Amino acid sequence: MYLRDAGKRGLGWLVGRALPHGRYDRCLFVLAHMRCGSTALSNIVCSRPDFSGYGESHVYHDGPDAPGRLAVNCARRKGWEARAPWQFDKILHSRLDAAAPPAFFSARAIFLVREPFASVRSIVDLFARLGRDEYRSHEEAASYYIGRLTALAEMWPRFDPARRIGLTHEALLRDPDTVLAAISTRLGITPPLVNAYRSKAASRRGGGGDPLVSGRHSRIEPGLPGRPVDPSDLDLSPMTCARLHESYAALAEIFGRDEAQERRGRSE
């Protein structure tokens, strides 16, 4: 196991040195949690010829060789675009970015979150439909959600304001074109992102993305989120419900302040 890991890291180091985009400052990340609409957003980015990637790679971002390992992973999963000047990854689990090196924060980052109770229910439902022995209870899914949002809040200030943007699932659904334009403007993506995609096969298998519905769509359909989930319908303690609400509200407030500051900067 050690030799295999060392081999991957050595190959990642070599590939990263050989490729012009084998560096963190040539990466775009979606930093999010499960069941927040990240697969559709990832598909939009990865449908472009200037981004190499397919979705969630599960590469550990724990050293300067990680962009090279990401490139190798994409090549193995047929998500590699040899001429693309940028690399893409979607990171939904804190074990993958908990030991991120300083260079990680030179990347561009899209933070995306969804209100907690719909997220928790959706996580449990997904794993039940997949027949997986994970996240079998609402409390287990809530623990993941709280932990992940705590990690996102800690990472947010480490990115330069010009290289990060924070979004909610509700805003993305309500007006995807406006949100995609805001992402493009803030992060300097040219030409701007457009609401159209083709779902790569790698994004639908092996944990790369949403295995149930990703392949059925070719764009984010504008619309309001569904009926809010009543916390009383979930098997959660009052303390867990409070922590879920606080985790989401804190990040949504941070994103809102950042957006307001960006608007003020444009008007001056």
Q: Domain ranges for the chain, please list them.
A: 2-267
Fold of 2-267: Rossmann fold (3.40.50)
Mean pLDDT of 199-220: 64
Pairing of strands 164-168, 27-31: unpaired
Structure confidence at residue 225 (pLDDT): 72
For the chain, give the number of residues: 268
Identify the H or E element spanning 85.
none
Structure confidence at residue 232 (pLDDT): 95
**pTM of the entire structure?**
0.91
Q: How far apart are CA 199 and CA 201, in angstroms?
A: 6
Q: Which of 95, 90, 106, 118 lies closest to 30 in space, CA to CA?
A: 90
Q: How far apart are CA 28 and CA 262, in angstroms?
A: 20
Q: Are 92 and 60 in contact (CB under 8 A)?
A: no
What the block records as the tokens of 259 is 């957006």
Q: How far apart are CA 23 and CA 128, in angstroms?
A: 38
- pLDDT above 90 coverage of the chain, percent: 73
List, for residues 149-181, the tens digit of each pLDDT value. Answer: 999 999 999 999 999 999 999 999 999 999 999
